[in-house]
Structure 1
Amino acid sequence: MKLSVLDQAPISRHSNAKETLNNTLKLAKITEELGYTRYWVAEHHNTNGLASTSPEVLITRIASLTETIRVGSGGVLLPQYAPFKVAENFKTLEVFFPDRIDLGVGRSPGGSQTTRLALTDSVNKSLRDFPRQLADLQGFLHNTLPKEHPYRMIKAAPRLDNVPPTWVLGLSERGAKSAAELGLGFVFGHFIKPVNGQAVMEAYLSNFQPSPTLGQPETIVCIFVVCADTEEEAEELALSQDKWLLSVGKGADTKVPSIDEVKKKEFSDEELNEIKKNRERCIIGTPAKVKKELNRLSDFYQTDEFMIITNIYDFDAKEHSYRLLADAFDFER
């Protein structure tokens, strides 16, 4: 089993973006020492509670402070950008950090329609173009655009023998097939919507075509995890994530609340049902319980790698959660 990290850089209440991003750097170095495979950073816009807005900048900083862990994006919001520019950004990263960069891309709009228009400088780009953009991105990365392509003579620099592997983040069979047909890696977002996941992964595996970067299918499943020494402690720590997910779902404040704040809150029956439903996106418990559940999901999803996201209030508790997981799987240090 391989474990990796997805970091959205969630800002805890009474903290700020500077402290949060410094904690991102700390956690990247810690998880590298613990034996984690990858450290990916997200892209979110126009939100007060998530500090990860520019994956390329964060990747550069994280990779410069680490030595072995792969560093990547989870993921660049491709529909808002030009595939040519994304290819040049990540080829440049590959020059500085060879064989350590992952290019994760997603189809998400990145926020409201107005936020999206701000990202595209008022150009109304269709999300339906994602498969075409994905193919163009590969063409620019590998210099394989077809002869009839209008940009066939445009070369993405710097020119490299090896380019970062591309991973598609998705929730649907359509997204899985897009990744498979281009021979790209696929990441299933269990932490977003753990519905129909087995069929989605099967669609990827059954439609995979080898490519210049991947000779066989590669998959990752991303999932919320809160791990602690005791079940009771894990449940208490998860309260802040429970409330945070509830707020995110309502489009409300996206800062992570403290446990004390959550305990003072009286939830309606509707909110309690939503919290219970959100727990299907998570594993909460002791190292033994989390390991057992990840092993079960490994068989269910036919994958050997999980990307762990832990959005709780206390950074020390978050760090400890990642340490306990590494110990449970007995990673080589």
Structure 2
Amino acid sequence: MKLGILEQMPTPKGKTAEDTVKETISLAQYAEQLGYKRFWFAEHHATKGMASSAPEIMMAAVASRTKQMHVGSGGILLPQYSPYKVAAQLLQLQALFPGRIEAGVGRSPGGGERVRSALADGKENQLSAYPEKLETLVRYVHGQQSNGVRATPRTSTPPSIYSLGLGENSAEVAARLGVGYVYGHFIEPTRGQAAHQIYRQQFAPGNLNAPHALTAIFVICGASDAHAEELATSQDMWLLRTEKGLDSRVPSVEEAKAAKKTERDQQKIQENRRRMIIGGPETVRKQLCYLSDLYHNDEWLILTNIHDFHEKRRSFERLISLF
């Protein structure tokens, strides 16, 4: 089983964005030592608690401080941007770090309408144009013309393109265009089997010669089930508050335990657990193996959004040692 990391760079309470960036780079270097194959960065805007707003810059920072690990985005908000500009950035990264650049792109607006409009410089919502923009991006990174121009620099090989999605429709788009597919189990845990099946059945070679399916999921691997549950209270409260549009910094375990929760809050926390694997090593191994058999995916992208950086590192240590 292959494992990678998807980093949203959540900022723990009591720390700054600068602290989070420093710890994230340190984590990426350590992840390479542990044997993780790839390290990707999300794109989030107008949020106090997530420090990854420019994945391309974080990709360059981490690639320059590691040796072999693939670095990527998970994902660039393609509907808000020019495919030409995105391609130029990716090709520049590929020229700097040949064979190590992976570009996950997604359909998300990036936030509310004001955020989306600011990203798109006031242009109208282009979410429906995502398949067309993705196709144009693929052409550009392969050195082909679109609208009479080619993107530069013209690298010997193109960066790998992945399309992020939450179900069957997104899987069909990725398969038709011959790009990799990333299913967001950490957002939508109920449609993964169908999405992965459709992607494999309908894949036509394009940017990639063969299908490559990844699944992103929250995982906390504690020393025991009880230890993992203790750590998870931090992530539970972070996710609950983030979805409510409240403070998206990661609270400590102590703050999370002391926070008042309504009955609906408790229900939501339990619902969100379907998006996660929480447990000691054996519990995590069994659940990941079960989902791997269900999805027939090629690799996992792991998110671990807890307050304690040392415990976050230890969770990744325990996880990689299982496989």
- Normalised to the residue count of structure 2, the TM-score between the two structures is 0.98
Residue 159 (structure 2) pairs with residue 164 (structure 1): yes
State the match for 1:50 in structure 2: 50
The amino acid that maps onto 2:81 is Y
Matched, 1:175 2:189: no
Q: How does 1:8-23 map to 2 (within 5 A)?
A: 8-23=8-23
Residue 143 of structure 1, CA deviation: 2.9
Shift of 1:161: 2.1
What is the aligned counterpart of 2:191 among 191, 196, 213? 196
Instruction: Quote how far apart the aligned CAs of 1:304 are.
Output: 2.9
Across the two proteins, how many residue pairs are aligned to each other? 323
Q: Which amino acid in the other structure matches residue 216 of structure 1? A: A
Q: Distance in 1 between matches of 2:252 and 2:34?
A: 27
Which residue number corresponds to residue 273 of structure 2?
A: 279
- Separation in 2, partners of 1:82, 1:116: 14
**Cα shift at 1:288:** 1.3
In structure 1, the partner of 2:125 is 125
Aligned partner letter, 1:295? C
What residue identity is the alignment partner of 2:189? P
1:117-141 Cα deviation digits (max 9, x unpaired): 1111111132000000001101111
Query: What is the match of residue 204 of structure 2?
Result: 209
- What are the residue-to-residue correspondences of 1:139-158 with 2, within 5 Å? 139-145=139-145, 151=147, 153-158=148-153
Q: In the aligned structure 2, how far is the partner of 1:304 from the partner of 1:117?
A: 36
Gaps in structure 2 of 5+ consecutive residues: none
1:232-282 CA-partner distances (Å, limit 9, x unpaired): 111000000000111111111100001111111231111111000000000
Deviation at 1:88, TM superposition (A): 0.6
Q: List per-residue Cα deviations over 1:76-97 (Å, max 9, x = no partner).
A: 0000100001001000000110
CA RMSD of aligned residues (A): 0.9
Distance in 2 (alpha carbons) for counterparts of 1:60 and 1:306: 22
1:1-333 correspondence to structure 2 within 5 Å: 1-145=1-145, 151=147, 153-211=148-206, 213-329=207-323
CA shift at 1:199, angstroms? 1.0
Maintained 8 Å contact 2:143/2:154 = no
Give the deviation of 1:144 after TM superposition.
3.4
The residue identity in structure 2 corresponding to 1:319 is R
* Distance in 2 of aligned mates of 1:144 and 1:59: 24
Deviation at 1:172, TM superposition (A): 2.1
Distance, in Å, in 2 between the alignment partners of 1:235 and 1:144 is 51
SS of the equivalent of 2:210 reads coil
Distance 1:96 1:241 in 2: 35
Q: Residue 75 of structure 1 aligns to a residue in which SS?
A: strand
- Residue 111 of structure 1: CA displacement? 0.5
| 2-structure distance, mates of 1:327, 1:177 | 34
Alpha-carbon distance in 2 for matches of 1:126, 1:89: 21
Asked if the contact 2:84/2:137 (under 8 Å) is kept, the reply is yes
Letter aligned with residue 141 of structure 1: V
Question: Distance between the aligned counterparts of 1:262 and 1:125, measured in 2?
Answer: 37
Query: In 1, distance between residues paired with 2:109 and 2:190?
Result: 20
Unaligned 5+ runs, structure 1 = none
1:262-319 per-position Cα deviation (integer Å, ceiling 9, x unaligned): 1112311111110000000000011111111111100100113110000001000000
> Runs ≥4 in structure 1, deviation > 3 angstroms?
none
Give 1:86's aligned amino acid: V
Contact 2:212 2:298 (8 Å CA) reproduced: no
**Alignment partners' CA distance in 2, 1:267 and 1:55:** 34
Q: Give the 3-state SS of the residue equivalent to 2:4 in structure 1.
A: strand
Q: Residue 103 of structure 1: CA displacement? A: 0.7
